[in-house]
Structure 1
């Protein structure tokens, strides 16, 4: 399982509802968490994101749904990464920034510059990788690749010289629909998903760059990655802090996010005198106190955000953590001293 930010579904609801579909029903069928269609920062399973597009496209008989969604998405859906990209000195710097920090948006996805697969002089390729062993579904691939194309166009203008597009699947919509969307030839059934660009594009400077804004965005992005120089317990804690309440938080899920085998991670934690269960409990306790003492969220919602199956689990944990019920802690925090 890989996790992606729910921002990747920006404009899905509007597109589906314009076609007469029930976006929420499709989200439930795909197993997306509540709120995934209307929030940017939930972490959702990439398989669920791909599934909701396939379900909606099939039900609505709209084979170009992925292209439709991407055509109205905005670069801003990448959050701070968008700011860093927009204020990079050149296209090459913007793409390098995207490659380095793409994990903030989607942990197992990557963007990188590679030699042109056709070996044409003066042409380079922008490769979009979906993670090892992943077989990308057509709608999600179409949406992603058109968004990447439009993002480049946003930076330098629509006529940036796209040579052609390679997609790993067969066309699910008429080929002409793809060529109209990309404004270039599209080749299907190719080994990889990529855009073929003029190499000269990489040197093009970007206009309106604010170095201060870029520095602030990069500082934020650099704090989102668990630093490999820190101990395993700190890295586990950082991943749990981002994932809690948005999906499974088992040892195997965290190990995958950190690119290590679960048994290896467990041994590393043992060597530090730590355990996965204790770290998860600590993260939940800290998060629970914050929710209970600084928000008015119902206990059922807090329970879900902590990854508990039911409110009774929160009540038992609260008595173990603080010797009182969640309601009592909330009341105590608000009573005058």
Structure 2
């Protein structure tokens, strides 16, 4: 029920961008400045337009509540920009259902699925190309200039690490994909990471190390583990494993399956 005016300068962008898609893209770009734990992106193709949202909040109950509220507000914003009830194709959540389906339908007016790969609002491409009426370009410029001066209190490194971890699971981790997810140019991302004293390659290596440790205890074979970590060749994983752990993948798997959950990463 909350008005999009609660989004402050983001609401100015939503009301004054040229199209719905441009407005969503700008919100994805600036969201982390005002809500440091949050990341959003708009992915478009010939047949779909998907707005997805994630947060690095770790408390499970708070996470689910935050995701549902954020997606409800996003749907409200899309309706405001479009001038009517858009009617998304579907809405998906990663968590399991918290309330009766009727409650979700009252908000989203479409099928809602749970236990899915992402928290997303699935729209038709026609929705994002809709022009926003009665826009004020001067107000848009002022809002963007203001947001450019607002800096997140959460290091970019943390956002990159979280996005990399999520993309690694679906085999899409890489500098270009992470930059796109954060609505940044690749060079801008590299420059800002350098200012924080790190690189994307270092972050990817750290994420792979932690993920390898977690997955090694699940029963996967060495070849499956290498694939899950995004290595094109198992030999690359073998070299990385020896460098990180001082042992072969087979030895790591054997040791992990006999370890306790609280055992540290070596």
TM-score normalised by length of structure 2: 0.55
Work out whether residues 33 and 147 of structure 2, in 8 Å CA contact, stay in contact via their aligned partners in 1. Answer: yes
Counterpart selection for 2:76 from 150, 153, 159: 150
Which residue does 2:4 correspond to in 1? Answer: 75
Structure 1 residues 145 and 90, CA gap change in structure 2 (3 angstroms): same
Deviation at 1:115, TM superposition (A): 5.2
Measured against aligned partners, the alpha-carbon deviations of 1:35-61 in whole angstroms (never above 9, x if no partner) come to xxxxxxxxxxxxxxxxxxxxxxxxxxx
**Aligned structure 1 segments of 4 or more residues deviating by more than 6 angstroms:** 264-268
Match of 1:259 among 127, 132, 157: 157
- Determine the structure 2 residue equivalent to 1:112: 41
Partner of 1:311: none
Secondary structure at the counterpart of residue 137 of structure 1 = helix
Q: CA RMSD in A?
A: 2.8
The Cα offsets for residues 85-131 of structure 1, whole Å up to 9 and x where unpaired, read as 21101111101110111012211312211258xxxx62221111223
The answer to whether the 8 Å contact 2:2/2:73 transfers is: yes
Q: Is residue 187 from structure 1 mapped to residue 113 from structure 2 by the alignment?
A: yes
Partner of 1:123 in structure 2?
Answer: 48
Aligned residues: 163
Residue ranges of structure 2 left out of the alignment (5+ in a row): 162-193, 199-266
CA–CA distance in 2 between the matches of 1:105 and 1:225? 8
Distance 1:73 1:130 in 2: 20
| TM-score where L is the length of structure 1 | 0.44
1:164–1:214 Cα change, 3 Å: same
- Is the contact between residue 150 and residue 158 of structure 1 (CA under 8 Å) also seen in structure 2? no
1:202 and 2:128 correspond: yes
Residue 90 (1) aligns with residue 19 (2) = yes
Q: Match of 1:310? A: none
Q: Measure, in 1, the Cα distance between the counterparts of 2:17 and 2:128.
A: 12
Q: Secondary structure at the match of 1:126?
A: strand
Matched residues in 2 for 1:185 and 1:207: separation?
Answer: 28
Deviation at 1:182, TM superposition (A): 1.0
Give the 3-state SS of the residue equivalent to 2:22 in structure 1: helix
CA distance in 2 between partners of 1:198 and 1:215 (Å)? 28
Q: Which residue of 2 aligns with 1:100?
A: 29
After superposition, the C-alpha distances for 1:188-227 in whole angstroms (9 at most, x for unaligned) are 111210000011111111011111111111111111137x
Distance change (3 Å), C-alpha of 1:267 and 1:187: closer
Q: Secondary structure at the match of 2:126?
A: helix
**Equivalent in 98, 101, 108 of residue 175 of structure 1:** 101
Q: 1:149 to 1:265 in 2, by over 3 A?
A: same
Distance between the aligned counterparts of 1:163 and 1:157, measured in 2?
17
Aligned partners of 2:66 and 2:151: how far apart in 1?
25
Instruction: Quote the Cα distance in structure 2 between the aligned partners of 1:265 and 1:115.
Output: 31
User: Which has the higher mean CA deviation after the structures are superposed, 130-139 or 150-159?
Assistant: 130-139
**Which residue number in structure 2 is paired with residue 218 of structure 1?**
144
Q: Determine if contact 2:54/2:67 at 8 Å carries over to the other structure.
A: no
The alpha-carbon distance between structure 1 residues 102 and 266, as it changes in their structure 2 partners (threshold 3 A), is closer
Query: Which of 1 and 2 has higher RCO (CA within 8 Å, sep 6+)?
Result: 2
> Considering only CA atoms, is the larger Rg found in Structure 1 or Structure 2?
1
Residues 173 and 134 of structure 1: CA distance in aligned 2, closer, same or farther (over 3 Å): closer
